[in-house]
Amino acid sequence: MIEITDDISIAEQELQWEFIRSSGPGGQNVNKVSTAVQLRFDVKHSPSVPDDVKKRLIRLAGRRMTREGELIIEARQYRYQERNRQDALKRLIELIRKAAQKPKIRLKTNPTLSSRVKRLESKRRKGEKKRLRQRIRYLE
């Protein structure tokens, strides 16, 4: 079991690992060894993640989410498969933790008296500036 938060933990059977060839550091090994990691996690059908967290996770994942509701995280930063695997898992945990935080509800507030006075004063100054730019009309 992978502990995400106090009430969310994911079974390792829910994660699918795929190892692919990676570009980048590795010397001659780069063409022979599959060091990059592709981690797949089926968010839509996961029994471990609550529905509200699923919705936020899908929104947070963006382009990493497939149409079928699968989250794909690729890790190819390191030279070794195990380090890339740890990096992918760490990124998944961070993403789920971020989605698990309930967003603060914004309370509507009224503008303060000083902000209203400032706004009206700046409007008055702008209007005065524009009035002074007008052509002077002589009385006939």
Is residue 77 included in any domain, yes or no? yes
Query: What's the number of domains the chain is made of?
Result: 1
Chain segment 71-118, per-residue pLDDT in tens: 888 887 777 778 888 888 888 888 888 888 888 898 999 999 999 999
Q: CATH number for the domain including 77?
A: 3.30.160.20
Asked whether residue 135 is assigned to any structural domain, the reply reads no
Domain that includes residue 71, residue range: 2-100
> Quick one: 117 exposed, middle or buried, by C-beta within 10 A (0-12, 13-18, 19+)?
exposed
Asked if residues 10 and 95 have their Cβ atoms less than 8 Å apart, the reply is: no
With respect to residue 48, please indicate whether it lies within any of the assigned structural domains. yes
Q: Is residue 91 part of a domain?
A: yes
Within a domain: residue 8? Answer: yes
pLDDT surpasses 80 at 67? yes
Q: What is the distance between the alpha carbons of residues 33 and 22, in angstroms, rounded to a whole number?
A: 8
Any domain includes 80: yes
Q: For residue 129, is it within any domain?
A: no
8-66 pLDDT, tens digit each: 767 777 777 878 777 665 666 666 667 788 888 887 887 777 888 888 888 888 888 88
- Domain membership of residue 131 (yes or no) is no
